[in-house]
């Protein structure tokens, strides 16, 4: 089924284990952007973070986000999705973190004691640009 | 000389020809983020765009930006710089575009007639985060 927002031609940039760069809004309205793991289920894009990080603080305050992913094999090819963090789920056992860690081939362990603070940002894409 | 904002340990992410992901603010305050070429002179980071693109419209209205660059050889290693587009210069002969095209190894030509609209976004970094 075709998604109403995500173009079929660029959906591989979500299904491949590529880093996205997720932009959020700081308290003063300025943008913040850092690399992030992502996983797409055909409807939502999910990210793992912890409650003490800017990505969580910012999206809990203002859900507007945008993500940019380009193709390492053809770097002018990219997908930008804008949307909202529709929901923030808890991940107290770090199970979702482990799913993403396996997807990306973990090369570091999360800090000990990190799990109670771990959350899942659930993004609904509402607008796409691509090249 | 050490830059007051850019950490020495991560300056290579600016000097290498890596794609950045530049976040700007749309008219409604929501974030916009897409891949972009960059060049760093030790004080400013410069980007090429055209006056009909979101990056120019957005930064002409609101100069607040942030850029994220990660290391393709060690993708958890990244640099985020926040700052402002301090100045927008014109590039009517496309000379600055050509400098960046050579830096990145151009694999496409700019659209014919693009030059009159070509501009240089000049960013002053004011804050860094890195890992």
CA of A60 vs chain B CAs: smallest distance (Å): 15
Tokens at residue B73, please?
A: 């050889």
pLDDT for residue B80: 98
pLDDT for residue B75: 85
Is A107 in Cβ contact with B66 (below 8 Å)?
no
- Tokens 């972009």 sit at which residue? B36
CA of A20 vs chain B CAs: smallest distance (Å): 9
What is the SS3 assignment for A83?
strand
* Distance (Å, whole) CA A26 – CA B83: 13
- Please identify every stretch of chain B with a pLDDT value under 70, giving residue numbers as ranges: 1, 107-112
pLDDT for residue B19: 96
* A19: chain B residues, CB-CB within 8 Å: 70, 75
Of B60, B24, B17, the closest CA to residue B40 belongs to B17
Is A80 in Cβ contact with B31 (below 8 Å)?
no
pLDDT band for A14, please (50, 70, 90 cuts).
very high
ipTM over 0.85: yes
* Distance (Å, whole) CA A73 – CA B107: 12
Report the sign of the C-alpha dihedral through residues A13, B36, B45, B33, in that order.
negative
Q: Give the HSE-up count for residue A82: Cα atoms under 13 Å, Cβ half-sphere.
A: 16
Is A31 in Cβ contact with B66 (below 8 Å)?
yes
Give chain A's contact residues with B (Cβ, < 8 Å).
Answer: 19, 21-25, 29-35, 54, 64-68, 70, 72, 75-76, 78, 80, 82, 107-108, 129
* Distance (Å, whole) CA A128 – CA B100: 26
């Amino acid at each position: 089924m075709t998604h109403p927002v995500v173009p079929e031609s660029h959906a591989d940039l979500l299904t491949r284990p590529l880093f996205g760069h997720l932009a959020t809004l700081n308290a003063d309205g300025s943008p913040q952007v850092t690399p992030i793991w992502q996983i797409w289920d055909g409807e939502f894009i999910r990210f793992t973070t912890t409650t003490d990080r800017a990505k969580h603080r910012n999206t809990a305050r203002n859900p507007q986000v945008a993500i940019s992913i380009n193709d390492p094999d053809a770097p002018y090819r990219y997908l930008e999705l804008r949307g909202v963090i529709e929901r923030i789920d808890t991940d107290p056992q770090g199970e979702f973190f482990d799913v993403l860690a396996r997807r990306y081939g973990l090369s570091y362990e999360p800090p000990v004691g990190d799990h109670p603070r771990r959350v899942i940002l659930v993004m609904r894409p509402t607008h796409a640009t691509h090249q």
